[in-house]
Amino acid sequence: MSLAGMAQATEARYNLQTPVTQIAQQVYDLHTAMLVVCLVIFLAVFGVMFYSVYAHRKSKGAVAAQWHENTTVEILWTIIPVFILLGMAWPATKTVLAMKDTSNPDITIKATGYQWKWGYDYLKGEGEGIRLVSNLSTPQSQIGGDQQSARSETAYLLEVDEPLVVPVGKKIRILTTANDVIHAWWVPAFAVKQDAIPGFIRDTWFRADKEGIYRGNCAELCGKDHGFMPIEVHVVSADKYSSWVAGRKKAAAAVAEDPSKTYSLAELKAKGQQVYDANCAACHQATGKGLAPAFPPLDGSKIATGPIADHIGIVFNGKPGTAMSAWRQLSDTEIAAVITFERNNWGNAVGDLVQPSAIRAMRGGAQVATAAVPAAAAKEAPTAAPAAALPAKVYFQVGKSTLPADAIDAVKAVAEYLAAKPDAKVDITGYTDKSGSLDKNLELAKERAKAVRDALKEAGVAADRINMKKPEAVTGDGDNKEARRVEINRAG
């Protein structure tokens, strides 16, 4: 797949991407035919012109003819272009009409543009009921950090965490709309590009004839992170698609939320930070300070510290005339969690919370029901994490950088600590001994620290809450246990 992707990327530098649908093939052929027509006209016109300049030059004694009009020539240079244009318009019109024929689809999917991600809802056909949100998955460290050399040659800024999955050979109808501003769903290999406009439903379709991974972008300038809104479509066999559908539905059933469940403040804050990082931090920033004036701060704001009903209302309904769009597409638990997080994070210490049942009732038209917790409880909740979790130590085998099995407890303890302290960060330091090659030992310590970092990320810790420190050397040799450790401490 990577070789195919490299070939596609290389070809696309000089030509259209390799078509994988009949419509895309027609567009490709039309593009080539038009270039040929233009080339022939160019050669004919400039050939006659240069021949005339050369054959009738003054040095040969040529004398310009004196005439002002020629009816036959004028008729010919009018009729011939008309026939050329008709010959070009006929196949182009047939292709455009075929592009608009979205009837009788096998699967219908709604693609909703958000700043700056795509949401997909499988509305009809196999997979009906599946919903996913597709975010850019290129690590921030590759975009502007210390891992730019690790960028993918074919998928940099075009990779997502939840790709759209469709079966090969099936007609897929895409309904496009948007939640905030105008976006555009564009996949060049399918010859599909359709605007997604708030309040309107547009549609397009494709039928991929070849399995593979096909990428595109939002093609409408939609704000500051417009360049970080990719599209990734996986075209798979019918059997693989059926397996994927079964897996998604099974996973959805396993994690189905009970809207009547009552959560603690710490639980809502932990989940709320995940929702905030995925949906809100791009505008309001991880610090809650925002980017004024377009994206106001939440830290100390009247919304996040004022009446909770107003806070729920603006998250649920958005604010017309501003960049704040409605987020009712989030689940009841996600909305309740992110509101609770915003009201009890940074410098905000309101001390109240909202349960998912209140959001569910609001969807049904009921008045907002909230739950307040004592201020003391709100302050105690963050300290409920085991303070003894830090510093945590992970000991590796001699010469190895593979995470040992007994590291699970330390990783879990640190993850629980960070979940209960949303503002906290940790430092990770690898240690080694001074025997042998110091450079190799320091590199080994660095790899061990990375293994611990990756384990924390898999446990749900956000990358921006982990600081990687320079490895350090201690006295002793490889038998010294402390020279084989990775230590996790509170940041700072």
Cα separation, 184 vs 189, whole angstroms: 15
- pLDDT tens readout for residues 169-192: 999 999 999 988 999 999 999 999
Helix (H, G, I), strand (E, B) or coil at 309: helix
CB distance 192 to 174 below 8 Å: yes
Cα separation, 262 vs 255, whole angstroms: 16
Cα separation, 313 vs 293, whole angstroms: 21
Q: Is this structure's pTM higher than 0.85?
A: no
Average pLDDT rounded to a whole number, residues 382-395: 61
Nearest-CA neighbor of 325 among 294, 285, 346, 363? 294
Cis peptide before 422 (omega within 30 of 0): no
CB distance 157 to 163 below 8 Å: no
For the four alpha carbons of 332, 335, 338 and 342, in that order, the dihedral sign comes to: negative
Nearest-CA neighbor of 270 among 172, 338, 347? 338
CATH of domain 107-254: 2.60.40.420
Q: Of all helices (H) and strands (E), which one includes residue 171?
A: none
User: Inter-axis angle of helices 308-317 and 332-343, to 10 degrees?
Assistant: 130
Average pLDDT rounded to a whole number, residues 19-25: 95
Lowest-confidence pick of 126-140, 153-167, 281-295, 299-313? 281-295
For residue 358, name the pLDDT band (cuts at 50, 70, 90): confident
CATH of domain 265-383: 1.10.760.10
Helix (H, G, I), strand (E, B) or coil at 335: helix
Enumerate the domain spans of the chain.
17-55+70-100, 107-254, 265-383, 387-490
Domain 387-490 falls in which CATH fold?
Answer: 60s Ribosomal Protein L30; Chain: A; (3.30.1330)
- pLDDT tens readout for residues 440-453: 888 888 989 898 88
Cα separation, 144 vs 126, whole angstroms: 40
| E-assigned strand segments in 219-342 | 230-236
